[in-house]
Amino acid sequence: MDLAYSKRTLDNGLDVIVHEDHGLPIIALNVWYHVGSKNERLGHTGFAHLFEHLMFEGSEHHDRGYFRPLQEAGASVNGSTNTDRTNYWEVVPANALELALWMESDRMGYLLPALTPEKFENQREVVLNERRQNYENRPYGRATMAIVAELYSPQHPYHWATIGAGEDIRAATIEEAQDFFRAYYHPGNASLVVAGDVSTSRGFDLAEDYFGTIERGPSVPPVSVPFEGGMPEGERRIVLGDRVELARLYLAWRSPALFADGDAEMDLLTDVLANGKTSRLYRSLVYERKIATDVAAVQQSRELSGFVQIVATAAPPHSLDELDAAISEHVDRLTSEGPADEELERTRVQIEAQFTYRLQHVGGFGGKSDQLNAYNVFLGDPGSFGRDLARYLAATRESIRATAAEWLRRDRRVALSIVPRTQMNLAVAGSEPVVIA
């Protein structure tokens, strides 16, 4: 499953990866900056996500909106931010490659001269409105904020949500934003993929032409993680009142870091628990016992530490305590017995299919260009498709059982109940109210 590619590092530190794919006359440009919300600090959060917006507002030599010229050339354009990285991508007709390279290089090297107080204030308000829409005023929208705040200490870089705290966003200054950009958005902290209908030599030549003169930027030290004794000890039961009709239960645990031992096993384990209508929890809670309207399980693999959560919505008149007992029974069974052979085979096939699907697209989120960048940034090796897949194929019933037993302990979990505001008594017994601003 490994892709053919070539990689060079420019004198200014920019990693450049070229992948030839002449099946269609299109080219994907993909830029990753190794910066996310984990590079922020308590009381000064939200800058990485804010720059996801500011980077589309124009740079010194194109001081206008970023989308229009590319879309007029027939391109698709987008970007995203998470805890560990920020990425930007374009998929363009082959004859628009230089336009995309010019615009990406201009905002990498010359964004700050065009960052005016007016743009900064405008995008601050856009982000605050996004926070209101997607978190504060969305049913169950504050769940992840509550969970990570409990799973990670205030000193840990995963304690806050990627979008940042509302009070931090309001208090941010343009000078702080400029300092954040200078620290992280430069060639020495970036990786560029050019993939598609382009020769390798031309891809490298153009990358050198457009990016080679940009200054390297300061070195970026690894993010330090406070010693927390390995894992939080003691179960935490918390409750949030929300404008919802049905009570919902979230069970969350810390899990291995991305690509660490046990990370693949935890992905397989969550698939066995609640991926699809044949999974254990869906079949039991929704189909057979009808005590839940829905159930899901997912692992959030992250660079420093992952977390797993199981989410189920109670079907009236059943309680969250009833859901908790039923879910815990299945988790305990996995920790003692592991998955059945047929369950492991089914989830392996699903994982292998997902790897194959990624190879169908040259650009966009999760396409070949995005995957090459992910492996380069997190593993230092763009060609890690086979190595990544091998982790899942090597997992056994016993390795999954052992991983579950190590990580999914009741004394290391967070149990979050989200209930209607006037019915706080619907929470799991012993839950303490929390406030998420």
Give the strands of the sheet with 26-33, arranged side by side: 6-9, 15-20, 190-196, 26-33, 86-93, 76-81
Q: Is the pTM of this model over 0.85?
A: yes
Cross-strand partners of 310 = 251, 297
In the chain, what are the domains? 6-211 (3.30.830.10), 236-433 (3.30.830.10)
pLDDT one digit per residue (tens) for the chain, 437 residues:
678 999 999 999 999 999 999 999 999 999 999 999 999 999 999 999 999 999 999 999 999 999 999 999 999 999 999 999 999 999 999 999 999 999 999 999 999 999 999 999 999 999 999 999 999 999 999 999 999 999 999 999 999 999 999 999 999 999 999 999 999 999 999 999 999 999 999 999 999 999 999 999 999 999 988 766 545 578 999 999 999 999 999 999 999 999 999 999 999 999 999 998 999 999 999 999 999 999 999 999 999 999 999 999 999 999 999 999 999 999 999 999 999 999 999 999 999 999 999 889 999 999 999 999 999 999 999 999 999 999 999 999 999 999 999 999 999 999 999 999 999 999 999 999 998 87
Q: What tokens appear for 127 in the block? A: 């982000």
Q: Is 278 exposed, middle or buried (CB count within 10 Å of its CB: 0-12, 13-18, 19+)?
A: exposed
- Looking at residue 436, its pLDDT comes to 86
